[in-house]
Structure 1
């Protein structure tokens, strides 16, 4: 199967929707597990643990500095995560992804590599500091949530990512709050509305 450690609901209906949960730097597989149960009752939850340690903080890929990604490592770990999601999703009727910060970045990277994999994604405070490849996201839904004053994921980069998804056929939405890199209540409400 996979080298990833992960938390998941007990085996249920294999055709039920599945939501993959990707934590931020320093988080773990528990970070969004309960929240996902509130957002999508009835969906099977799968939360892989990042397998890269940055001074003890778990992440999904290496970086050489703030906002500077180790692109070779990102490619290897994107391929591994893509395989993990395909294996675990199985016969699910819908495949949903939710990621925050570093988790949003690995989720977006998997989307670039495998546009057919996720039906719906929620990218919370992503930062993609490179030009993604052209892809076909027709029929896919993407919500990006972000802070207008985020020092880690600048607003201009967030807008560029939203524009990228729209230009490549996704039904793309962008929900801003007035703060920084933190998650806010109005952001969670926007996610809940998006998923209904």
Structure 2
């Protein structure tokens, strides 16, 4: 495997394993505090995007006019899938059971993987995600629980785009929870608290 910047923090094997994918300009440490709030004892695998665009780390590129570079997206998704699979194998993790926690750019790429790929992730929490493209290979997501947030003042993710992404998940039978409030693109304490409550209920129910 080519050099990958990541962190692996071993936790309680009885707790869900969290896969962290940061937002634009972030790194493998950015979402550690979020993960610690969601599930303090969980094992964590956090991966840094390998691209630099305008001085900021990302998981895939933009086109010169500011749109999404879908050719690069396909390449980077294959890299990310391979990276996740190899790191999971090294650390005895089940890719199909990972709880992916993504913010912005990291949420976008993880959502695209779930909508188009088989066998990746058990559930997901997405902070300020957006739809990148039409679904290429629809999946049956009836076993997938997803929580995702949106700010009605978000200058990056429009209400329409968020609604499109949510509708797409629901079309594929995902168990979707939306959290929408009057805010911008940052993660607020109230938003994190709502995510934590969903997480606790989701995994407490599984144990019961």
For residues 170-195 of structure 1, what are the alpha-carbon distances to aligned partners after superposition, in whole Å with 9 as ceiling and x for unaligned?
10111012011121122101110111
Q: Match of 1:48? A: 47
Residues 20 and 103 of structure 1: is their aligned pair in 2 closer, same or farther, counting only changes over 3 Å? same
What SS does structure 2 have at the residue aligned with 1:181?
coil
What SS does structure 1 have at the residue aligned with 2:82?
helix
Q: Does the CA-based 8 Å contact 2:34-2:192 persist in structure 1?
A: no
Distance (whole Å) between structure 2 residues aligned to residue 168 and residue 147 of structure 1: 24
Distance (whole Å) between structure 2 residues aligned to residue 8 and residue 67 of structure 1: 33
Q: Does the CA-based 8 Å contact 1:67-1:127 persist in structure 2?
A: no
TM-score, with normalisation over the residues of structure 2?
0.85
Q: Match of 1:9? A: 9
**Aligned positions of 1:92-111 closer than 5 A:** 92=93, 94-111=97-114
Distance (whole Å) between structure 1 residues aligned to residue 16 and residue 151 of structure 2: 29
Q: Does the CA-based 8 Å contact 2:116-2:135 persist in structure 1?
A: no
Structure 2: 5+ residue runs without aligned partners? 201-208
More helix by share: 2
Q: Does the CA-based 8 Å contact 1:14-1:92 persist in structure 2?
A: no
**Cα distance, 1:40 vs structure 2:** 1.2
Q: Does 2:123 correspond to 1:120?
A: yes
* Equivalent of 2:169 in 165, 168, 179: 165
Aligned residues: 195
Residues 27 and 66 of structure 1: is their aligned pair in 2 closer, same or farther, counting only changes over 3 Å? farther
Distance (whole Å) between structure 1 residues aligned to residue 65 and residue 144 of structure 2: 30
Residues 19 and 68 of structure 1: is their aligned pair in 2 closer, same or farther, counting only changes over 3 Å? same
Residues 81 and 194 of structure 1: is their aligned pair in 2 closer, same or farther, counting only changes over 3 Å? same
Q: Match of 1:59? A: 58
What SS does structure 2 have at the residue aligned with 1:63?
coil
Q: Does 2:143 correspond to 1:135?
A: no
Distance (whole Å) between structure 1 residues aligned to residue 99 and residue 66 of structure 2: 26
Q: Does 2:185 correspond to 1:181?
A: yes
Structure 1: 5+ residue runs without aligned partners? none
What SS does structure 2 have at the residue aligned with 1:64?
coil
CA RMSD of aligned residues (A): 2.0
What SS does structure 2 have at the residue aligned with 1:150?
coil
Q: Does the CA-based 8 Å contact 1:67-1:152 persist in structure 2?
A: no
